[in-house]
A and B are shown apart, each in its own frame.
Chain A
Amino acid sequence: MSHAQTDTQPVLQVDELTVRLNSSQGLVHAVEGVSFALSRGQTLGIVGESGSGKSVMARSLMGLLPRRAVAFSAGSVMFQADQPPARDLLLMPEKQRRHLRGPAMAMIFQDPMTALNPVLRLSVQLTESVRQHVGLDRQQARIRAIELLGAVGIPDASRRIDQFPHQLSGGMRQRVVIAIALACNPSLLIADEPTTALDVTVQKQILDLLARLQREHDMAMILITHDLGVVASRADHIAVMYAGRVVEYAPAKTLFTAMKHPYTEALFNSIPRINDPSHTRLQAIPGRPPQLVEPAPGCAFAPRCQYAQPRCWQQTPPVVAVDGEDDHRHACFYPISETPAREDADV
């Protein structure tokens, strides 16, 4: 296998992905025109508040949305695990897609308790995918599973493997979920809020573990979170989502030093900062995130945006690149021109 080829060709190329879901209130515009590309070894951080569409997007990439729930999907998701050509996942029949889940792409979920089956021993859950996809026999699969548990830092793996999920702490369970996801060496790993349910000291252990495994396996990773701090130092690129759209996309460092979209700025300023003295007044964003059922015309952030102009209420701003920077894009008519708020950011 030529490595040069896989390096130049992205593992995942998403173009104008749009997903609308059925709900009792009407059509939910969950994901609207999202585009990005991701190569091996790279991490894309996706940041957004609840209801911004980040999890729906992740599930649609994995093909995990219930078919009845999806009213409409458009765009393309070109995926290429090892050999070209890349294939459009949205056009692929479900029978073929299921052969990709596990060996080619895998996902980690927020709550490690509900992601694991409480009535099955870890050994069963860890060996399922290698037996199914790689064709190992029971004995080989067990040896592989013990290796995996060791690799994710679970001590005494050969004893632990016969335990049930409730016998493990939250951090340990998330390690098991990671081990299951990595069992078949996927090219793409989607981690949806992998540390939100965990304590900060455990969060750091898990994020460090993911970074190490990503390096070892040369995986592409999508790290979804509501915490800007989690992606700040761990992602190569960051996409900020609001109301189903990527409102800003930039290399991680650029995003924090030269943010363009008012929502990115507002989100950044509303977070209490560990380096600010206590009782620093927070710059809260007024109002609340919009409903995604029959969204109003115009920019979804306009009602909460301090820079909004009449035009913002009427037209939806298209995604445009920042002058001279191909990988910094935003969707705003009136982007922030100077380094905002935190002038000390590039000292």
Chain B
Amino acid sequence: MSDQTPCHLRDRDDIVLRVLQLSVNFAVGKQTVQAVTDVSFDVARGETLGLVGESGCGKSTVGRAIMQLPPPTAGRVLFNSQDMTALSGEALRQTRTGLQMIFQDPISSLNPRRRVRDIIAEGLTIWGRDNASVRVDEVMAAVGLDAASAGDRRPHQFSGGQCQRICIARSLALDPDVLICDEPVSALDVSVQAQILNLLEDMKARYHLTMVFIAHNLAVVKNISDRVAVMYLGKLCEIGNTDAIYARPAHPYTRALLASIPDADPLAREQASIDNEPILQGELPSPADPPSGCRFRTRCPYAQARCADEVPQMQAVADDHHVACHFPVLTP
């Protein structure tokens, strides 16, 4: 593994989470599935990084590898400058309280047989924290649940949106630095989705959270993120400031993704430059046998011979806007 730092990592003092050349392989039968390959990014304090891509691109695997669930095959995860991949046992458990996770399906993430209050208090109980019940009341109030009436009920008595509030309360109980949200709103109805997105913004401000927000919905990711990282077939394609990426997508895959979104406002789309982008053809190649060179080249409308031979490295196309493509689309 080369120790050369990729150019899109920032040299700042307030980096809470730094992921370096992360790779995760899974053995499936005799094959090795390269779920994540050489992914690096950093997240500064108070920042939200959106991780987007289609199913199978490895975005959830990255989220889980940060938590060491399971530990990555290669690469490092620096949380507050501490290398989590080097830790194990008690030290890892201790460190991991600083990172918490919420998941896509809020109902199956909660034990149906336990009371809401006990679910939220579990982390506090395990670590023997003082004043657990005070803390539980506080986080329940923060996420908009009435501790007195909701605390003694069980998850099935709540709607999906309410269950996601319970999950958020549980994740906040231990006062984490980093919250990893894996598709937290994609199972919710649109009217409830907005409530949860607003709640996450409020919690981020109130508890000074740093977030990694994993989702496939590009509009949702844009709404909540300061920076966005786009993944395709286990690799990072493009990373940078949210508004810059959405206004001037440089990677052909990002452009194809953005052009595919049906917008609810048919009139707002007419002037968008990406509307003439060709529709993505074909199917996602197998991550067990990814294409050589650039992994997107088999579906890329701009692919050339060089794309098959050389793996594209991250290059800057603007301030805080990096793309891994030999022939990025540059718009003024």
Contact = CB atoms under 8 A, between A and B. Distances in A.
A347 B54 CA distance: 33
Interface in A263-280: 266-268, 270-280
B246 interface: yes
B271 to A, nearest CB: 10
A27 interface: no
Nearest to B226: A278
B189, B191, B258 — most chain A CB neighbours (10 Å) = B191
Interface in A192-250: 199-205, 207-208, 226-230, 232-234
Contacts of A278: 222-226, 242-243, 246
Contacts of A281: 198, 201
A78 to B, nearest CB: 31
B148 interface: no
Contacts of A288: 159, 161, 189, 191-192
Nearest to A203: B260
Interface stretch (A32-40, A80-88, A132-140, A251-259): A251-259
B192 A282 contact: no
B116 to A, nearest CB: 17
Contact of B194 (A208, A229, A271): A271
A272 B243 contact: no
Contact of B218 (A200, A205, A271, A283): A200
A272 B256 contact: no
A207 B260 CA distance: 10
A289 B201 CA distance: 23
Interface in B183-213: 189-195, 197-198, 201
A199 B262 contact: no
A275 B268 contact: yes
Interface in B270-312: 272, 279-280, 283-284
Given A272-B219, A274-B258, A278-B242, A253 B266 contact: yes
Nearest to A52: B189
Contact of A256 (B193, B198, B267): B267
Contacts of A202: 54
B82 interface: no
Contacts of A228: 190, 264
A345 interface: yes
A226 to B, nearest CB: 6
A182 B220 CA distance: 35
B260 A200 contact: yes
Contacts of A347: 267
Given A267-B190, A270-B191, A272-B219, A233 B262 contact: yes
A1 interface: no
A133 to B, nearest CB: 32
Contacts of B226: 278-279
Contacts of B257: 200-201
B223 A284 contact: no
A270, A272, A345 — most chain B CB neighbours (10 Å) = A272
Interface string A143-171: 00000000000000000000000000101
A338 B226 CA distance: 34
Contacts of A346: 267
Interface in B81-98: none
A276 to B, nearest CB: 7
A274 B261 CA distance: 9
A280 B223 contact: yes
B216 interface: yes
A15 interface: no
Contacts of A271: 190, 194, 219, 264
Listed from nearest, the 9 A-B pairs whose CB atoms lie closest are A229-B262, A284-B194, A272-B223, A199-B54, A270-B194, A282-B194, A285-B191, A228-B264, A284-B195
6 contacts: A49-B189, A228-B190, A232-B264, A272-B194, A279-B223, A288-B159
Interface of A: 49-50, 169, 171-172, 199-205, 207-208, 226-230, 232-234, 252-253, 256-257, 266-268, 270-286, 288-289, 304, 342, 344-347
